Amino acid sequence: MSYQRRVTPNNFGGLAGQSFENAKAVILPVPYEGTVSYGSGTSNGPQAIIQSSRFMEWYDIELDAEIYKKSGIFTLEPMAVSDLQPEDMTVKVEKEYAKLVEANKFVVMIGGEHSISYATDRPLREKYPDLSILQWDAHADLRDSFEGTKFSHGCAMRRFYDNAKRIVQVGIRSFSVDEAEYIKKNNLRGNIFTPTEFNVEKIIERLSPNVYITVDLDGFDPSIVPATGTPEPGGLFWKDFLKLMRAVFAKRNVVGCDVVELAPITGQPSSDFLSALAVYKMIGYKFCQ
Ligand SMILES: [Mn+2]
């Protein structure tokens, strides 16, 4: 086994010597699975990302750096939210997130289902009133309510839109007739980029100076990320992700991000590993460009 040097500790990256005080980047695991509709298992997502991340190379060829040495990366304890209703979960995560924003940390939240993302909105919007949201996803998530709650994963972007009026959606290839109506009524189609419409420059033009990024892993093609609840065909690829993220981090002030909806498949670690690298790459683009 050639990975022996990474056996400990059990944190993101398998990194020794990290402290909350010195780290610019912190990982916030939110193993929440309250409202997932089809596949299940997202509550295991955070631990699978952390476990895979211990086997990544710390050195990044593209950035010519051991990313963690420039940023520091401290992994917080997973939040205890599994028993909560979506609205109560949102309130609890929002409180925790606000403390991290207050402490000036770049937070990467790892899920968990997509309903966790909206908890970042109030703390970040208070600090960055112009905040826009960049969503990587197969689904529009623009339902007003879903399965009896306004805080479902199917409503994540609708809640953001209620506040932000500035969301940019990339990789989208599935939504309901009600969402289609809503998109037409609010003239949102120009901010939606299906995989065939993927265009980095046009996407970035739509974003305000301060940006929050939410990465639903089903935005990727299921051939490279099969481990999601709704693996929609016709998705985006790793190179698309790197090209977009590198440019967004260079041209905008990214103030936080999340990677959600990993539903690990036992014995098939490729989705977990890609998720871990997605987290590490975004930290790299933030602190090493
Ligand atoms: Mn999705």
For 215-237, what is each residue's pLDDT tens digit? 999 999 999 999 999 999 999 99
Specify the pLDDT at position 58.
97
Tokens of 131: 């905040």
- The amino acid present at 95, given as its one-letter code, is K
Sign of the dihedral through C-alpha 8, 13, 17, 23: negative
Tell me if 211 sits within 8 A of 248, measured CB to CB. yes
**Ligand 1 midpoint to CA 65 (Å):** 32
Tell me if 289 sits within 8 A of 244, measured CB to CB. no
Minimal CA–CA distance to 108: which of 288, 289, 276? 276
**Ligand 1 midpoint to CA 57 (Å):** 28
Give whole-number Cα distances, 128 to 112, 219, 272, in Å.
25, 26, 32
pLDDT in tens, 234-287: 999 999 999 999 999 999 999 999 999 999 999 999 999 999 999 999 999 999
* Residue 7 pLDDT class (50, 70, 90 cuts): low
Cα–Cα distance between 259 and 154 in angstroms, integer?
A: 16
**Ligand 1 midpoint to CA 257 (Å):** 16
Find the mean pLDDT for residues 151-168. 91
From the number of C-beta atoms within 10 Å of its C-beta (0-12, 13-18, 19+), residue 136 rates as buried
Please name the helix (run of DSSP H) or strand (run of DSSP E) that holds residue 28, with its range, or none: strand 25-30
Tokens of 215: 């990465």
**Ligand 1 midpoint to CA 59 (Å):** 30
* Residue 1 pLDDT class (50, 70, 90 cuts): very low
**Ligand 1 midpoint to CA 51 (Å):** 23
- List Cβ neighbours of 172 (8 Å cut-off, separation of 6 or more): 137, 138, 139, 140, 192, 193, 194
Assessment of whether the complete model's pTM goes beyond 0.85:
yes
Minimal CA–CA distance to 170: which of 113, 221, 236? 236
**Ligand 1 midpoint to CA 4 (Å):** 35
Beta bridge partners of 149: 146
CATH homologous superfamily, domain 21-287: Ureohydrolase domain (3.40.800.10)
**Ligand 1 midpoint to CA 252 (Å):** 24
**Ligand 1 midpoint to CA 17 (Å):** 35
pLDDT in tens, 162-221: 988 899 999 999 999 999 999 999 999 999 999 999 999 999 999 999 999 999 999 999
Evaluate if residue 6 carries a pLDDT over 80: no
pLDDT in tens, 80-138: 999 999 999 999 999 999 999 999 999 999 999 999 999 999 999 999 999 999 999 99
Tokens of 59: 């050195």
Residue with tokens 């970042």: 120
Cα 166–Cα 233–Cα 32 angle in degrees, nearest 5: 60
Cα–Cα distance between 174 and 289 in angstroms, integer?
A: 34
Strands 167-170 and 192-193: parallel
pLDDT in tens, 26-58: 999 999 998 655 668 999 999 999 999 999 999
**Ligand 1 midpoint to CA 20 (Å):** 31
Outline where 12-147 has alpha helix (H): 45-53, 67-71, 86-102, 121-127
Please name the helix (run of DSSP H) or strand (run of DSSP E) that holds residue 134, with its range, or none: strand 132-136
**Ligand 1 midpoint to CA 137 (Å):** 5
Which residues are in the CB-under-5-Å shell of ion ligand 1?
137-139, 216, 218
**Ligand 1 midpoint to CA 109 (Å):** 16
**Ligand 1 midpoint to CA 139 (Å):** 4
Residue with tokens 């991290």: 100
- The amino acid present at 221, given as its one-letter code, is D
